Structure 1
Amino acid sequence: MASAWKCSGVRWSAGGPVLVWDGGRSSVLHRGKRVAFEIAEGGVRTCAGARGHACPARAVVPGRSTGARCEECARLERAHSVAADTIADDPRPYHVYLAWFGPGLVKVGITAVERGSARLLEQGAVCFSRLGAGPLMAARRTEELLRAALRVPDRIPYADKRAVRSALPATAAERAAELGELHGRATALGGWPESLEREPFRPVDHAGVFGLAGLPAAVGEVSELVAGSVVSGELVAAAGPDLHLVTDGAVVVLDTRLMTGWELRPARGAGFTVPVREFRGPAGVQDGLF
């Protein structure tokens, strides 16, 4: 094990989340695992680069940035992004889907068929259903049609997802109900591209994979990592890039995208000394712990 590791983020598969490190190493993130690391005094956060290449300038980036890229690398990364609608000639088939993150939090999106459920796991979708499959541009036109007709967005802020994660309906059927209603409205619409093959409503639930059953409400989220700080806690749930960690008897959410660009070392002791932004949640949630 090297003295300092650089994190590349969380990768999801049907088996669960894995924390990936530069050089191809990985750490399986199972519930009950102790997540503990520290940043050396005087450390700096450098740009994560773009498209698998290091940043030529090794630019320093802000601690609060979830992208961890300088302006030039961010531009290069987005220039090759399907989400940014900059690629029109991808020959792969794409799924159009509806994803549910909590009551009233539904989005429409597309993902390559070959990726299966990976994109939905990466986003922290509690449940989802596919609407159809076809060529990229047909999928993109369908996404735009549904966004306008159903008045659902194609993006939902992670802060909104975190706010409802510990108070979701108890059963998979309840969690899928809103999706089912929207799926029915979507398939009844006219104007779908002929090349997109519609699919029936088959909800996929991720609450078990994420560990959301009985999840205690989080008191706050890590706002940034800083030099000389320590993170140490027990993993109780993971959804998308978020790790829910128990520390000092309370749950705090760590967005693992904040870890990229830092040189991290194993923590030499317990502690949680990073800045935490408190949630203004329901009555009974303790304040002032950090």
Structure 2
Amino acid sequence: MAQAWRCAGLRWVGAEPVLMWEGGRRSALPRGKRVAFGVMTGGVRTCVGARGNRCPTRAVVSGRSTGARCEECARLDRAHSVAADTIADDPRPYHVYLAWFGPGMVKVGITAVERGPARLLEQGAVCFSWLGRGPLMAARRAEELLRAALGVPDRIAYADKRVVRSALPEAGERAAEVAESHARAVALDGWPESLERVPCRTVDHAGVFGLDGLPGAYGVVSELVEGGTVGGTVLAVAGPDLHLATGRGVVVLDTRLMTGWELVAVEAGEQGEQEVLAVPVRELTRGGGDVQDGLF
């Protein structure tokens, strides 16, 4: 019987995407790598817990949930999240940033300075620039100022990010849009005095993600299911998303859907490439919420 591994999600280690497994194992995901896995027959997807702690009830969660947490663990995780605006006394310095995902798709956010660009890689930001640096509450006030004065959101749906990745403008156009938004932002009145403005220096992740020449995807995996299989060749990795070339065409797999499942390896010769993608796939369109050493 094939050994099963419980997925703990994708993590960006430096500028490299790595799938994590319960127990600390990891699998690198370089472009060109073939991945193939199956969901355990008779298995269920269980809550991944919160803040590094296991779910006390090992609750069963929906296959469509990107959070893979039960209601109680989701509440606990959110209560300790900087994004939830429940932490006010964090002494660490924070960056305010502008992230660009596609034409007209710029968002503002904050991240701890010590994390560097990790948050931008996790979100799949094609390019970004820092805007400011300072205490957490000053960074929060600046974020709110930009959202109100410039109409810049703090969230962009993954459905919208995915559909534009294969048709991005040239790097110069991307940088110009970031620079324009940056100039408008730093010219605003009302910046907190304790927040240092940072010059615009655009960092582009298209090469890191593998987006240059990326073919368009026809669909996105909507959920994993008991007994289902997924396989293909990695074309790009952006944020939590794998763009895979399969026998049915290019599909996007949000690796957050893998967490909480027990998965087994599928050998390359076991199934035809046409059959290895045996999970629900929906059309890739804009809009909508989503908001061994390893298997491969």
TM-score, normalized by length of structure 1?
A: 0.94
Cα deviation 1:258-283 (Å, max 9, x = unaligned): 000100010143411010002259xx
Cα distance in structure 1, aligned partners of 2:200 and 2:14: 20
Task: Give the letter for the 1:18 counterpart.
Answer: V
Task: Give the letter for the 1:279 counterpart.
Answer: L
Aligned residue for 1:130, secondary structure, equals strand
Residue 250 (structure 1) shift? 1.1
Following TM superposition, the consecutive aligned residue runs of length 4 or more in structure 1 with deviations greater than 3 angstroms are none
What residue in structure 2 maps to residue 180 of structure 1?
A: 179
Is residue 278 of structure 1 aligned with residue 283 of structure 2? yes
What residue in structure 2 maps to residue 145 of structure 1?
A: 145
Aligned residue for 1:83, secondary structure, equals helix
Cα distance in structure 1, aligned partners of 2:143 and 2:15: 29
What residue in structure 1 maps to residue 292 of structure 2?
A: none
Residue 18 (structure 1) shift? 0.6
Aligned residue for 2:181, secondary structure, equals helix
Residue 61 (structure 1) shift? 0.3
Cα distance in structure 2, aligned partners of 1:69 and 1:58: 10
Residue 179 (structure 1) shift? 1.0
Task: Give the letter for the 1:148 counterpart.
Answer: A
Cα distance in structure 1, aligned partners of 2:85 and 2:199: 26
What residue in structure 2 maps to residue 288 of structure 1?
A: none
- Quick check: 2:142–2:191 contact (8 Å CA) kept in 1? yes
Cα distance in structure 1, aligned partners of 2:25 and 2:173: 39
Task: Give the letter for the 2:280 counterpart.
Answer: P
Task: Give the letter for the 1:275 counterpart.
Answer: P
Task: Give the letter for the 1:90 counterpart.
Answer: D
**Runs of at least 5 residues in structure 2 that lack an aligned partner in the other structure:** 287-296
Task: Give the letter for the 2:206 counterpart.
Answer: A
Matches within 5 A, 1:127-142: 127-142=127-142
- Quick check: 2:93–2:136 contact (8 Å CA) kept in 1? yes
What residue in structure 1 maps to residue 291 of structure 2?
A: none
What residue in structure 2 maps to residue 239 of structure 1?
A: 238
Cα distance in structure 2, aligned partners of 1:28 and 1:107: 29
Residue 77 (structure 1) shift? 0.3
Cα distance in structure 2, aligned partners of 1:115 and 1:40: 35
Residue 249 (structure 1) shift? 5.4
Aligned residue for 1:6, secondary structure, equals strand
- Quick check: 2:160–2:285 contact (8 Å CA) kept in 1? no
Aligned residue for 2:24, secondary structure, equals coil
What residue in structure 2 maps to residue 93 of structure 1?
A: 93
Task: Give the letter for the 2:102 counterpart.
Answer: G
Cα deviation 1:232-259 (Å, max 9, x = unaligned): 1000000000000000151100000000
Percent sequence identity over aligned pairs: 75
RMSD: 1.1
Residue 82 (structure 1) shift? 0.1
TM-score, normalized by length of structure 2?
A: 0.92
Residue 124 (structure 1) shift? 0.1
- Quick check: 2:159–2:284 contact (8 Å CA) kept in 1? no
